[in-house]
Chain A
Amino acid sequence: MILPGFIVSLMGGGILAWIASQKSLVLTRWISLLTVTVNLLGALVVWWQQPGVSSLWLLDYSIPWIPQFGISVHLAVDGLSLLMLLLTFFLGAIAVLISWKEIQNRVGLYHFCLLWVLAGITGVFLAMDLFLFFFFWEVMLIPMFFLIIIWGHENSRYAAFKFFIFTQASGLLMLVAILGLYFVNGNQTGNYTFDYFHLLEANIAPGVAMWLMLGFLAAFAVKLPVVPFHTWLPDAHSQAPTAGSLILAGLLLKTGAYGLLRFIVPLFRDQAMVIAPWAMAIGVFGIIYGAILAFSQTDLKRLVAYTSVSHMGFIMLGVFSFNELAAQGVVMQMITHGISTGALFILAGFIYERIHTRDITRMGGFWKSMPFLGACGLVFAMASLGLPGLGNFVAEFLTLVGAWQATHKFTIIATLGLVAATIYSLRILQKVFYGTQASATMLVDLSIRERFIMMALVVSIIWLGLFPQPILNTSKQPVKTILEVPDTARTKDKSMQIEIVSIQGKGGRYE
């Protein structure tokens, strides 16, 4: 029961917070904080109680929803989903905390949207029914649209629509692919179902499978994002309120990465291997391209957004390397990038609250007046450039070590990305914290609430850098299962099925 509990409590908490805003805004904030914190504790308990690394699926919950179409509310959690849940609730709690002072306008609606985005994300990480998955995919999109457009900055309309259209258009392609998968599998087996575990067994003709995979890939590639589908991201990130940027960078992008691991690789392994060289090429291109663009940006949030584009390239490289090292690196990257980039957006938010600009040419010398902020900025700039001792290093290094087993030339280019990351990260430090202070007014360093937020993030990124093994243990079994090459018997079976399908295809059953 705890799995639907996560989602329902977030949705319920959102409604409750909205209602409470009629009475007291403080109450609204406390309700959201409490809701997310309880969920975080719940996820921690599940993590604590996991019965050893050997078992794959820790919890499973399933009731029929629309049985006529084979749709059910099927939620399940394995190590991978669990880690994503922990990340979601951790960053979710921080998102509530950073909005404490920043949001003064329509507070109730804001917290409703915030919690519903989180609910959608939670659902995406838990859904084991493709229809349900698509449902949650939309649930996280719409409140996010409102977060950007209502509480965003000066150009938020443009950014919100761009975000919506990109995500929605690619989501539709995924819907077509989901339906295609549903019908192809149903035609073959007579069992029309959206259930993930049933569809894993589906044997699809390679040609069809390629198209279906591309449909899924479209949605995940836009979300991740992969160059050239990344252009919604800098706009959305820079225009969103701080919590919005945090959730976008920390969580929404990760749903794309999660989708690659959860759906693309196990469902369409052969096709994924066919496109692997292209996917890796586009990934490393993104690493370099994002890094070069990050260097020239003057809007601090836009700059950080482009660093995300660069870092997400590692995910493409890692997923399509098809080995445990790289895939574990990808899992680490999802978590550590969520924390480190989220932290950079929060820092940008803190600075914005003080000087009301995101323009780094108008910053400088903040180390003097805000040493605490400076120290945090240093930590996360270093995380971003992959300094050992911080979580991102473990992620990127594992990805690269793994990728080296698959491809030499792309790994070399990706490794050069570390130099590019150094260049833009140090530029952030130089422009914001070094030099002499541009404005004469003395700035106040972080408040206790702000310090608490930053300390939570700093401690976790260092912990992940020094003791990543608990995380890696949790994701070990899921990652192995995802990458597991089907045994020869199944392959033989598959080739037989392919013949049948092609005969059926001639029979014109698809038309």
Chain B
Amino acid sequence: MSNLLWLIPALPFAGSLILIVAGSKLPKKYVPLIGSGSVGVSAFITLLIGMEFITSESGSVIKQVLWQWIDVAGFSPAFGFHLDSLSLVFIFVITFVGFLIHVYSAEFMAEDEGYARFFAFLNLFVGSMLILVLADNLLLLYFGWEGVGLCSYLLIGFWYQEEKNGSAARKAFIITRVGDTAMAIGLFMIFKTMGTVNLVDIQGQATSVWTVGSYEVTLIALLLLGGAVGKSAQLPLQSWLPDAMAGPSPVSALIHAATMVTAGVYLIARTHVVFELAPTAQFVVGVLGAVTLLMAGFSALTQYDLKRVLAYSTISQIGYMFLALGIGAWSSAIFHFMIHAFFKALLFLAAGAVIMALHHEHDMFKMGGLRKKLPVIYWTFLIGAASLAALPLITAGFYSKDQILWLAWAGEKGNTWFFLAALVGAFITAIYTFRMVFLTFFGEEKTQVSHVPGSLINIPLIVLAVLSTGAGFIEVPHSLGHLQWFTDFLSPLLPITIIRPGIESTEWMIQLLAAGLSIGGAGLAYYFYGVRPSLHIQIKNAIPQVHNFLLKGWRFDSLYDWTFVKPFVYLSNVNKNDLVDWPFNALVTVAGFIHRLFAFTQSGILRWYLIGIVVGAILILTLGILI
């Protein structure tokens, strides 16, 4: 079974190829069949291989090398795959969530004229993402990494006729490319030191090549982090993600929430050995995560656009994952990634259904009262929201987030600030999540429902809702029964977080605090948007600058506009005609001038010639006398 591994990424690529080549000629009903089918079969193979993997003895990995990609002077990355528990979690999420989103898209995009193109790009994305997480070397990982970047660009700009979609797409590609550049340089450094880009070799040799905290390893870790913050939309390269919502909702769900944006988390987890050798860099990961989760959380509080709330919440939740990575809570980060993929895909898909039902209305303040009209969406959205807000005990989000909170407090590398940031973040999350719920589904109806979604939309929502609740129970904290399936599954690969001694007894207090804050946040949202709806307008009017500042995502766009975009465009335009050409043209002008000057002397007028001869004779005589 394990030699079928290559099929997992190959099938979506094949689907994509078929749709690109023949998409416009195929009957419309075959398009989603090929699109979803290829990913569905991949998911099925993943399941088979996963079964085999779990039942085999722990610590085993599956390797498969397809062909030698490049082999020059010791630089020899292959098209080779490496499946271990970490990549298994990722391919599981990618193929299954991906499949559900494909099914959803079959109905969601049915009226679009770019139907085949959409599925082609979506398949291409899934294939690239699978390569990213299965790659056995950094260069192949980079292949997938850039491939998903391309698909993200293509799908954000899917409705290409609108100018603003195009610029959102370019923004996403260019900003992530900045991070990728850092990552590429990190790759050069790794190759120069180690003579290999193979991930397993790097993992094995790192501790013997570098000492803890050495300058070089810190620099490499920071460069890899540069790539990670770009893809995962963390500070300071987070500003592309809210605009990425210009793409169709399934794209937001799959790429900009569930999978691609967590590529940075994967990269750091995959190279965790490097980060453990560079405590400073790891600390920076934690700080970036903590700051990002708060900043994005505050911005989410002020948004009008339903999808933008979810976008900021994605940035914030990935901030949690980065925080977890920063404190060495490796498996907690991956656990939160998985749970987040379920509930965030659910929320985006449900939001997409709402937006479609309301005829492309994005503004939450023009929604309301949809509870009765769209019951399936309401209930599934509510489950997803509860999971995002981490309502205690019943939601999966509670279990995954609680783990991070606890380790930020109790872990060896945790500290009070990280813990407080995570705690405040949890409170804000609960507020903006339920603000969303109350504005969209409660109150009076402001826009008529024009389209009720069918079963291809409802079924994926229900499946994801089940996962958003049930998937949490595979990892239950000490105080509630102690279950560690997920951590154990990853533990040979990702080290277990060490807890400071004598602190275990406080776990229930932390949980109580977190639970209280999330319920409190939900309650506060109810008070603001259910009980006294005028209150938030008063607050907004009292501090308009602050509101605007948060609404615009802490004005990072303006900052980058003034520091990078405008100078670049200015420099480019001012030199449009290429200054270097000037001296060459000047040479031509001078030559032409002299040419005319001499041509002027050859006028054919005898008098001029005579004057010339006389003047010349006088000059020569004078010179002769003087010298």
Contact = CB atoms under 8 A, between A and B. Distances in A.
Given A382-B150, A434-B161, A400 B580 contact: no
Contact of B189 (A367, A404, A435): A404
Given A231-B580, A388-B143, A325 B181 contact: no
A368 B169 CA distance: 18
B181 A398 contact: no
A435 B160 contact: yes
A200 interface: no
Contact of B160 (A230, A367, A385, A418): A367
Interface stretch (A12-20, A71-79, A255-263, A462-470): A462-470
Contacts of B174: 419, 422-423, 426
A371 interface: yes
A297 interface: yes
A90 interface: no
Contact of A405 (B153, B192, B568): B192
B572 A292 contact: yes
Contact of A472 (B72, B192, B580): B72
Interface in A432-473: 433-436, 466-469, 472
Interface string A107-139: 000000000000000000000000000000000
A389 B189 CA distance: 22
Given A231-B578, A293-B578, A295-B572, A388 B142 contact: yes
B230 to A, nearest CB: 11
Contacts of B1: none
B95 to A, nearest CB: 21
Interface stretch (A44-52, A345-353, A408-416): A408-416
A212 B143 CA distance: 43
Given A367-B160, A375-B20, A328 B73 contact: yes
Given A365-B161, A435-B160, A323 B580 contact: no
Interface residue tally on A, bucketed by range: 35 or more
Given A328-B73, A435-B163, A426 B150 contact: no
Contacts of A293: 572, 575-576, 578
Contacts, number: 127
B374 interface: no
B67 interface: yes
A401 interface: yes
Given A389-B143, A404-B192, A419-B177, A433 B72 contact: no
A195 interface: no
Contacts of A230: 580
A234 interface: yes
A466 B160 contact: no
A324 B184 contact: no
A405 B163 CA distance: 43
Interface string B146-176: 1100100110010011010011011001100
B170 A426 contact: yes
A375 B174 CA distance: 20
Contacts of A183: none
A436 B581 CA distance: 35
B495 to A, nearest CB: 31
B185 interface: yes
B556 interface: no
B150 A401 contact: no
Nearest to A400: B188
Contacts of B508: none
B161 A234 contact: no
Interface in A261-304: 292-293, 295-297
B48 interface: no
Interface in A384-404: 385, 387-389, 393-394, 397-398, 400-402, 404
Interface string B120-153: 0000000000000000000100110011001001
B580 A227 contact: yes
Of all A-B residue pairs in the complex, the 8 with the closest CB atoms, nearest first, are A404-B188, A388-B143, A296-B572, A231-B581, A324-B73, A434-B160, A296-B576, A434-B166
25 contacts: A228-B580, A231-B578, A292-B572, A293-B572, A295-B569, A324-B72, A367-B160, A375-B20, A378-B154, A387-B146, A387-B147, A388-B146, A393-B146, A397-B139, A401-B188, A401-B191, A405-B192, A418-B177, A423-B568, A430-B167, A434-B160, A434-B161, A434-B163, A466-B79, A472-B70
Interface of B: 20, 24, 67-73, 75, 79, 139, 142-143, 146-147, 150, 153-154, 157, 160-161, 163, 166-167, 169-170, 173-174, 177-178, 180-181, 184-185, 187-189, 191-192, 568-569, 571-573, 575-576, 578, 580-581, 584
Given A378-B154, A401-B188, A418-B180, 14 more contacts: A293-B572, A389-B143, A397-B184, A398-B70, A404-B192, A405-B192, A415-B185, A419-B181, A423-B174, A430-B166, A434-B166, A435-B161, A468-B69, A469-B70
